[in-house]
Amino acid sequence: MKDISREALDLAIEGAPQFIARIDRAGESALHRRRVRVISTLRTFNDDPMLLYACLWYACSRGVEIVLRPETREY
């Protein structure tokens, strides 16, 4: 996989800074050969498919597995 582009990185940092911070923390564990994953929902990405793609690209570049969980429905 190609390195993340500057444009995609900027989009991820600006659009989902808390998610990127979680990836960075998890990525530090991945450097120590520990399998790490971040669990999130689609809501994190503000209904923006390009933001989702940029964030997933960033996570892959850091060696972090992402699990998307369905939203919890409250009735």
pLDDT single digits (tens) 3-59: 899 999 999 999 999 999 999 999 877 666 677 889 999 999 999 999 999 999 999
Helix axes 6-15, 49-62, angle to 10 degrees: 110
Residue 67 CB contacts under 8 Å (≥ 6 apart), including other chains: 37, 38, 39, 40
Could you tell me the residue ranges of all domains in the chain?
6-68
- C-beta of residue 62 within 8 angstroms of C-beta of residue 54: no
Q: What is the mean pLDDT of residues 54-75?
A: 87
What pLDDT score does 71 carry? 85
Quick check: 36 and 26 in contact, CB under 8 A? yes
Query: What is the value of pTM for the model shown?
Result: 0.84
